[in-house]
Amino acid sequence: MSDPFPAVAEAAATGEIADLFADIRATIGVRVVNLVWRHLATFDGALPWAWSAVKPLYLAGMPDEAARRFRETMAVPKLASLAGDQPPSIDAVLASYDHSNTMNLFALGALVAWLRGEATGGAAPASGPRLTAPDVTLPLLVSEADVSPETWALVLRLNRFGDQRQLILASMYRHLAHAPAFLMKVETALKPVQADGSLDRAIAGNRAAAQVAARRLGRAISAERPASAESIEAGVAAFVDHAIGKMVTICRAIRTARGAAL
């Protein structure tokens, strides 16, 4: 499966894009720049505009407060236990994506709502203390050539859970491909909740709740509409509605099954 969403690799970034990547890492508190930002870097002027539009939200702690409230009621499908000894990188990857995907769900959801003219309704967005980003080191983000055909096939099978359209290959699975035995356990744990519909219901419910909060958050965005607004909206919406939208729930469920302190 080739990713239909081109992206600028962090190692290949230079000049303004490299500086923006560094600012994104520092502001959100992540060690890697998520694919959505690297995808925006392929559009002329899109990344500088999008980041300048949402960075004030991060600095004010608005996505953090939205995430804090969201997690109080989010639906988390119950998976079979995934506890047990595993490479330390597994929990590092899960913690990093649990943080960054949830932050991006609200900040980028707010951006989509603003671009669509839907940033209305409800109480004004609330700010709050910043959530502490996990201080972790992540393994290499693998590509198909880096792992066995069996492991890559497993990554692609996992990507079908929660979204059969598979528009975007979720990077979390690529980071976890260093531990194929763990990914096999994840696949086994996800199959029952996919079969009984509880995974899809949780994802849909969480996505709908996040959209309501994101529309309120979009009211805090102050920016001039860019010439490439339609391309930016289409690209960001694909991530919010699909890869990020499903992985927020799946990652949380896996961490819960691992017995992580959340």
- Residues 112 and 233 sit within 8 Å (Cβ to Cβ): yes
Domain that holds residue 194: 10-258
Residue 31 tokens read as 């060690």
- Residue 243 falls inside a structural domain: yes
* Residue-level pLDDT at 1: 41
- Residue 100 falls inside a structural domain: yes
Which of 18, 49, 21 lies closest to 228, judged by CA?
49
- Residue 5 falls inside a structural domain: no
* Residue-level pLDDT at 121: 65
Cα 205 from Cα 249, distance rounded (Å): 10
Q: Could you tell me the mean pLDDT of each successive run of 10 residues in the chain, 262 residues long?
A: 73 95 92 90 93 95 94 97 90 94 94 92 77 89 94 96 84 95 97 97 97 93 92 92 94 96 82
SS (H, E, C) 236-260: HHHHHHHHHHHHHHHHHHHHHHHCC
* Residue-level pLDDT at 124: 67
- Residue 197 falls inside a structural domain: yes
Cα 34 from Cα 227, distance rounded (Å): 24
- Residue 4 falls inside a structural domain: no
Residue 29 tokens read as 């508190």
- Predicted TM-score (pTM) of this structure: 0.92
Domain count, the chain: 1
- Residue 1 falls inside a structural domain: no
Cα 166 from Cα 161, distance rounded (Å): 9
* Residue-level pLDDT at 204: 96
- Residue 81 falls inside a structural domain: yes
- Residue 77 falls inside a structural domain: yes
